[in-house]
Amino acid sequence: MQTVADLTQTRKPAQAFHAILHDVPGSLTKVDDDVLFFDPESGAITPVTSYAGLTVLGEIGLADTQQLMGRLHGGYAAIACSRAN
């Protein structure tokens, strides 16, 4: 009798949420132990040090989360989208 391979995940997939920080809409995610706020208009990435003034809204979908993580980590997606062609 054949057995099925165990495909358990070794780490949790990244999650991101729509959020408002001090009246600025953006995205919120956790990288390692840091909670980061991303402002899409300015491109600023701000560590959240206080939860006063923070409103967390719904979860962002998988594709948007991958795009956000690419920008946070400066991956290929961020490089490809920032090139002047």
Please answer whether residues 18 and 58 qualify as being in contact, where contact means their C-beta atoms are separated by less than 8 angstroms.
yes
Residue 85 has pLDDT above 60, yes or no: no
Local confidence band at 77 (pLDDT 50, 70, 90 cut-offs): low
Q: Is 40 a member of any domain? A: yes
Residue type, 22: H
Q: Is 8 a member of any domain? A: no
Q: Is 3 a member of any domain? A: no
Q: Is 45 a member of any domain? A: yes
HSE-CB of 85 using CA atoms within 13 angstroms: 4
The count of structural domains within the chain is 1
Instruction: Report if pTM > 0.75.
Output: no
Please answer whether residues 27 and 35 qualify as being in contact, where contact means their C-beta atoms are separated by less than 8 angstroms.
no
Q: For 4-33, what is each residue's pLDDT tens digit?
A: 766 666 666 678 899 999 999 999 988 888
